[in-house]
Amino acid sequence: MALTSLPFAIFAIITGIIYFVYPKKEQRWVILLIASCFFYLYNSFRYAAFIVVTILTIYFAAVKMDDISVETRKTVREKKAEWSKEEKKAFKDAAAGRKKKILALTLILNFGILFLLKYFNFMSGSIAALVGVSPESAPQIRLLLPLGISFYTFIATGYLIDVYRETVKPERNLFKFALFVSFFPQIIQGPISQYGKLHDQLIEPHDLEWINFKQGIMNITWGLFKKLVIADCSWKAIKAYYANGGINGSGDFAGYGGTMVLFITLLYALQLYTDFSGGIDISRGICRVLGIDLEVNFRQPYFSRSISEYWRRWHISLGAWMKNYVFYPIAMSEFSKRVTRAIASSSFGKTPVGKHISKVFMTAVASFIVFLFVGIWHGANSKYIAFGVWNGLIIMLSAMLGPVYAGSRKALHINENAAWWKLFQMLRTFVIVLVGYVFDIADNFTNAMQMMYLTLTDQNVGAFLSELPSLGMRKVEYLAVMCSAMLVLYISIRLEQTKIDTPAELLERRSGLIQWICLFGLIMLILLIGAYGPAYDPAEFVYMQF
Amino acid sequence: MPDNTDRKKINIRRTIAVITMVLALVGSVVFMEKFLCIPDSQALDQNRILMLHKEPKNTIDVLLIGSSATYSGFSSAYAYEKFGFTSYPYAIGGGTCTMWKPALQDTLRNQRPKLVVVDVFGGGYERELIESRSSQLYLIMNSFPLSAEKIRMAKEISQNVNNVSAASMVFPFIKCHSRVPINLLRLKERLETEKFGPSPLKGLETRTRTRQLAFVDDASFTEETKPLDEKTEGVVRDFLEYCKSENLKVLFVKYPTVLTQQDPDELLVNLKANRICEIAEEYGFTSLNMQKDFHKIGLKEREDYYNHGHTNIRGQKKVTGYLGSYIQKTLNIAPTELDDSVRAQWDQSVEYFHALDSLSEELIRQGKTESLGESPALAADVERIVNGESPAAVAEKYHG
């Protein structure tokens, strides 16, 4: 039941109707829980046990950790007069140790499941290859991935760490917690919601409000437009590129040249953005109708002026998760502080360069590790690891070479606020992003390197034009994708200028008639040029596979 | 804060807006589905079906179902002139046996023919081909109004044809929506066709050329049969059961083609067509294999064909004469008494046929190959000849 399918639309409408007509408002969250359970079982019945294990282990671990905290505070309060400072500290440390053990065990279990299902086969094959054994003979787990496992594991573990850090109180109602983990609009491809931002909204009763309904529908329509008109039409060409064997060719086809590789990379950038952000728009739109404000996951990422900014605009919730639960723990760890101190106290650390390096070194290392994880999160393949390493390296180098860039800008008298400079930065960042995408498109690391080499050395427009028909798209389809992409670009510029999150909010500034006309026009465009129906091979959301 | 009356007004306004929006969307989709979904390559087939439904209720004596062999092989107006019965070809280029039942069901909405003539050729194809042809079925379903019957038909079709969903058969817009922007350029023409009819051309289609000898005629008719695959036989038998349940008289025919060893697929189709005739006879239906009577009909391989599978208007007259005679004399199909206005229409169609015949001959003479088929534009051209203009003058606008 894909987000863009008719059965899902019917399911979502029925859920919405029951939710709003259910008379006992304080129990409306139960409707969402039942709908989420139905959705999960319908889509991933065979693997439902995995999400149940995650819900139960994290629920009980969180409750237990909270019990320990409460009990500790109570005991310390009661024994305030009797215990010495050292005794209190020892007692608190023992409690913290128990909490840490619970946290570690629960995280190991849940990430262990994720690792086993998602990465075991890759690791097993890689190790086998390293020791000279055929990867085919390495032990393999023959299971499909449970629906949304990366998303719900991160959502649930993030909550557990928050409870451990005592930044949130644990949910003591198992079913309410189950709803937070399995909430159907976000289970397929996120966002990776934070407990503090989502949980209360799910439990609070909501009434149907006109503004929510209108903006929700607009968001859903905009998401469908991006997904069905741009992403899925572009996917047709990308799929043909793969089917024809890419740069190596297959059968009688000799393989594509460098201009085509560049074109496919650009098309992939468009497809990936519209596919993922389109899916998020649909999810956010459904939530908006229900009165729930799901986190923003995209803020015009291709307008970023640096790669670190790009990752603050692309898949924002994953970036936030990595920052909270990977970056800070590494950057603020005792080890990092020791390394920083060691560099600062060395003779190198006394030099101007050394001073800078001592300040940013561990931050840069932490960033690198974060992006290595981001790459691994995307999938078990060397190309995703290379993708993570590439992004990590760029961010690491940017941090380390910051003063050099600043000095160069100053020497060249570049005005940082000049429009051309901003545009140059955007283009530069986009090119870096495209290089990362090449790893994504390629079959493996070697293939990615070949693609990049070809892009740099084999630019031939004539050959490209002769290869274009092999992508199986008609002229009218290219035109439709191009015009639609222009519309998305225009809306993105307007959103960027107005600092507004959604086109629906942008339209609020216009008259009612204009709003209706825009909605009608958008629906008509989807109906007319959208890639749906038996003439198209429906493409799953790209991020669903992660 | 708006008071209750204001709130009520706002709510009414919003409800009206939502309903208007939904109606506008539904209306637009229905309009586009009706006029803009069918590709240009199928426009003549679509017009033919549309014009069948413009015929006065229960005035068609003989319904002919099949593929291009049917519309190129039989002229309803010529048969009317010769034998007095009315007929109409429900024929779609490339149609296979999966279209027989839906086409018949579509026709039975308005007509109750005394005889149904089915071209067996469409049942003789390889299974993969039969399963892959869906555009003909979309054409039929596009003609069928939304009803429980249509939904039932759609489910049936989706089991027989690949890559077809029942939903898209009920609402062909789901499948064909991407054609709409292209077809918008021809909206005016499509709307004109909608206003046109009943048509004096009676669904005829032909191509204005004689056969160029790309194939050597080195194969002859055989009565041998070849079994059908299980699924195709199921489709054929289901159609036969349906005809029985509707108490219809059915004649299975094989239109004569030029046989050649160079086209083994076609030879295989002929063997399978023979098998379909056998199956039809099991159900008590008659069959007529005109391939056997190729020379008896008087067909000439070069003169009477525009390619090896299809007769031109010369061959069409010969096949119509032969088949019409069989229908009249052997099957005893007597013409229905038509009221004056309907008879006048049919009489006019005879005039149009002869005018079209002369136009076709003129174009063949001038070496201009054209597809002449059911459309208001062709009817207008033919009318000029009926009104006294010379075929040569009318032929000037055609470029071949």
Chains A & B: contacts with CB separation below 8 Å: 46
Instruction: Tell me the shortest Cα–Cα distance from A282 to chain B, in angstroms.
Output: 20
The Cα–Cα gap between A295 and A193 comes to 7
Chain B contacts in chain A segment 164-183 (CB below 8 A): none
Instruction: Tell me the shortest Cα–Cα distance from A14 to chain B, in angstroms.
Output: 18
Q: A528 at the B interface (CB within 8 A)?
A: yes
The Cα–Cα gap between A436 and A284 comes to 27
The Cα–Cα gap between A140 and A128 comes to 11
B-chain CB neighbours of A519 within 8 Å are 21
Instruction: Find the closest chain A residue to B182 by CA distance.
Output: A476
Residue A540: pLDDT band (50, 70, 90) is low
B202 CB contacts (<8 Å, ≥6 apart)? B51, B75, B76, B77, B80, B87, B88, B89, B349, B353
**What's the whole-number mean pLDDT along residues A402-419?**
85
**What's the whole-number mean pLDDT along residues B346-374?**
95
Instruction: Tell me the shortest Cα–Cα distance from B270 to chain A, in angstroms.
Output: 32
Which 3 state secondary structure label does DSSP give B172? Answer: coil
A85 CB contacts (<8 Å, ≥6 apart)? none
**What's the whole-number mean pLDDT along residues A225-235?**
91
pTM of the complete model: 0.82
Using alpha carbons only, what angle is made at residue A464 by residues A462 and A465, rounded to the nearest 5 degrees? 65
* Res A534 pLDDT > 80: no
**What's the whole-number mean pLDDT along residues B368-383?**
94
Tens of pLDDT, residues A150-188:
899 999 999 999 999 999 999 999 999 999 999 999 988
Name the region of B331 (left: φ>0; alpha: ψ -120 to 50; beta: rest): alpha
* Res A536 pLDDT > 70: no
Residue-by-residue DSSP string for B332-390 = --PPPPPPHHHHHHHHHHHHHHHHHHHHHHHHHHHT---EE-S-HHHHHHHHHHHTT--
**What's the whole-number mean pLDDT along residues A234-244?**
89
Listed range (A74-78, B108-112, B387-391) with the worst mean pLDDT? A74-78
B318 CB contacts (<8 Å, ≥6 apart)? B297, B298, B299, B304, B311
Contact A534 B175 (CB under 8 A): yes
* Res A373 pLDDT > 70: yes
Tell me the one-letter amino acid at B171.
Answer: F
Which 3 state secondary structure label does DSSP give B288? Answer: strand
Instruction: Tell me the shortest Cα–Cα distance from B284 to chain A, in angstroms.
Output: 39
List phi, psi (to 5°) of B371. -90, 115
Burial A240-269 (b: 16+ CB within 10 A, else e): ebeebebbeeeeeeeebbbbbbbbbbebbb
Instruction: Enumerate domains of chain B plus CATH numbers.
Output: 9-200+209-338 (3.40.50.1110)
Residue B51: pLDDT band (50, 70, 90) is very high
Q: Which residue, A178, A169, A180, is CA-closest to A202?
A: A180
Contact B181 A529 (CB under 8 A): yes
Residue B241 confidence (pLDDT): 95
Tens of pLDDT, residues B303-337:
999 988 899 999 999 999 999 999 999 999 989 88
The distance from CA A277 to its chain's CA centroid, rounded to whole angstroms, is: 10
Tell me the one-letter amino acid at A366.
Answer: A
* Res A543 pLDDT > 60: no
A-chain CB neighbours of B24 within 8 Å are 520
Contact B21 A516 (CB under 8 A): yes
B-chain CB neighbours of A523 within 8 Å are 25
Which 3 state secondary structure label does DSSP give A526? Answer: helix
Higher-confidence residue of A276 and A138: namely: A276
The Cα–Cα gap between A296 and A183 comes to 16
* Res B264 pLDDT > 80: no
Contact A530 B177 (CB under 8 A): yes
Contact B168 A476 (CB under 8 A): no
Residue B387: pLDDT band (50, 70, 90) is very high
The token pair at A54 is 């995650």
Residue B388 confidence (pLDDT): 94
What's the ipTM?
Answer: 0.75
- The closest CB to that of A534, out of B32, B163, B181, belongs to B163
Tens of pLDDT, residues A418-437:
889 999 999 999 999 999 88
Q: A527 at the B interface (CB within 8 A)?
A: yes
* Res A110 pLDDT > 90: yes
The percent of residues above 90 in pLDDT, for chain B, comes to: 57
Residue A544: pLDDT band (50, 70, 90) is low
Cα Rg for chain B, rounded, in angstroms? 23
A-chain CB neighbours of B163 within 8 Å are 534
List phi, psi (to 5°) of B307. -155, 180
Q: Which residue, A343, A399, A349, A401, is CA-closest to A370?
A: A399
The Cα–Cα gap between A229 and A476 comes to 12
Listed range (A36-40, A141-145, A200-204) with the worst mean pLDDT? A141-145
Higher-confidence residue of A417 and A134: namely: A417
* Res A251 pLDDT > 80: no
The percent of residues above 90 in pLDDT, for chain A, comes to: 50
Which 3 state secondary structure label does DSSP give B62? Answer: strand
| Helix B4-35 × helix B187-195 angle, to 10° | 80
Instruction: Tell me the shortest Cα–Cα distance from B24 to chain A, in angstroms.
Output: 8
Contact A476 B181 (CB under 8 A): yes
Q: A456 at the B interface (CB within 8 A)?
A: no
Instruction: Find the closest chain A residue to B23 by CA distance.
Output: A520
Residue A374 confidence (pLDDT): 85
Contact B24 A527 (CB under 8 A): no
Instruction: Tell me the shortest Cα–Cα distance from B168 to chain A, in angstroms.
Output: 7
User: How far lies A207's CA from each of A49, A180, A199, A311, in Å?
Assistant: 33, 20, 17, 35
Up-side HSE of residue A157: CA atoms within 13 Å toward CB? 24
Length, in residues, of chain B: 400
Instruction: Find the closest chain B residue to A475 by CA distance.
Output: B182
Q: Which residue, B103, B12, B95, is CA-closest to B52?
A: B103
Instruction: Tell me the shortest Cα–Cα distance from A316 to chain B, in angstroms.
Output: 34
The token pair at A525 is 């465009």
**What's the whole-number mean pLDDT along residues B260-280?**
83
Instruction: Tell me the shortest Cα–Cα distance from A488 to chain B, in angstroms.
Output: 20
DSSP letter at B311 equals: E
Output the CA torsion sign for B1, B5, B10, B14: positive
Chain B contacts in chain A segment 197-256 (CB below 8 A): 210
**What's the whole-number mean pLDDT along residues A496-523?**
91
* Res A361 pLDDT > 70: yes
B-chain CB neighbours of A517 within 8 Å are none
Tens of pLDDT, residues B168-226:
888 888 888 888 888 888 888 888 888 897 999 999 999 999 976 666 666 677 778 88
The answer to whether A145 and A160 have CB atoms below 8 angstroms apart is: no
Contact A534 B165 (CB under 8 A): yes
Instruction: Tell me the shortest Cα–Cα distance from B187 to chain A, in angstroms.
Output: 15
Q: A519 at the B interface (CB within 8 A)?
A: yes
A57 CB contacts (<8 Å, ≥6 apart)? A106, A109, A110
The answer to whether B215 and B263 have CB atoms below 8 angstroms apart is: yes
Q: Which residue, B178, B41, B293, is CA-closest to A232?
A: B178
B-chain CB neighbours of A473 within 8 Å are none
Instruction: Find the closest chain A residue to B14 by CA distance.
Output: A210
The answer to whether B160 and B237 have CB atoms below 8 angstroms apart is: no
Contact A529 B178 (CB under 8 A): yes
The Cα–Cα gap between A451 and A442 comes to 8
A-chain CB neighbours of B182 within 8 Å are 476
Contact A533 B163 (CB under 8 A): no
Q: A529 at the B interface (CB within 8 A)?
A: yes
User: How far lies A213's CA from each of A285, A436, A491, B240, in Å?
Assistant: 9, 38, 21, 53
The Cα–Cα gap between A520 and B20 comes to 11
**What's the whole-number mean pLDDT along residues B251-266?**
83
Q: A6 at the B interface (CB within 8 A)?
A: yes
Residue B325 confidence (pLDDT): 96
Contact B25 A523 (CB under 8 A): yes
Contact B181 A532 (CB under 8 A): no
Contact B21 A520 (CB under 8 A): yes
According to DSSP, the β-strands at B305-307 and B250-254 are unpaired
Is cis: bond before A191, omega within 30 of 0? yes
Hunting for tokens 């960042």 — which residue is that?
A429
Sheet of B250-254: strand order equals B87-91, B62-66, B115-119, B250-254, B286-289
Residue among A527, A532, A536, A537 with most chain B CBs within 10 A, to mutate = A527
- The closest CB to that of B177, out of A477, A512, A533, belongs to A533
**What's the whole-number mean pLDDT along residues B121-131?**
79
DSSP letter at B84 equals: -
B interface residues, A as partner, C-beta within 8 Å: 14, 17, 21, 24-25, 28-29, 32, 134, 163-165, 167-168, 173-178, 180-182
* Res A148 pLDDT > 90: no
Which 3 state secondary structure label does DSSP give B305? Answer: strand
The token pair at A23 is 């008379």
